[in-house]
Amino acid sequence: MVEARIRVIYGDTDQMGVVYHANYFRYFEFSRSEYFRARGGSYREMEREGLALPVVEATASYKSPARYDDVLLVRPRVSEVKRVSLTFTYEIFREGGSDTPLCTGRTVHACVSREGRPTRLPEALVRLLHEAP
């Protein structure tokens, strides 16, 4: 299991001291990068090979607020791999908190060429997504 650790900075919060809702999508993105890194891959390498994985759908469900200086644990997981797309799901927990997530989410990514055309996920990428870190 990959777990990305993030400390909430003041700039991530709103006037009430609560993490602004859109920042959870940044946390999802950070955890995806860590997911690839933990498996020996990177977005940068994919881009060098002429591929990109843009987000085509994103959702988040907020359960409980995160606040300034909280340490968050983001757990990304690949939940579905199709021919030209893949889906990540996420759970965000407060370090030292309960086993109930503060936020859950999902992002769907299309695999596209440098020209922006849908393309089949390379077999090497599919293997990398499923290997244990």
| Residue ranges of domains in the chain | 4-130
Beta strand residue intervals within 1-121, DSSP E: 4-7, 51-52, 55-62, 71-81, 85-94, 103-110, 112-113
Written as six digits, the tokens of 4 are: 């990305």
Q: Determine the pLDDT at residue 129.
A: 87
Q: Which amino acid is at 58?
A: A
Average of pLDDT values for 118-124? 94
| Catalytic (active-site) positions | 14
pLDDT tens readout for residues 55-114 = 999 999 999 999 999 999 999 999 999 999 999 999 999 999 889 999 999 999 999 999
pTM (2 decimals)?
A: 0.93
Fold annotation for 4-130: Thiol Ester Dehydrase; Chain A (3.10.129)
Range among 39-43, 77-81, 129-133 with highest mean pLDDT value: 77-81
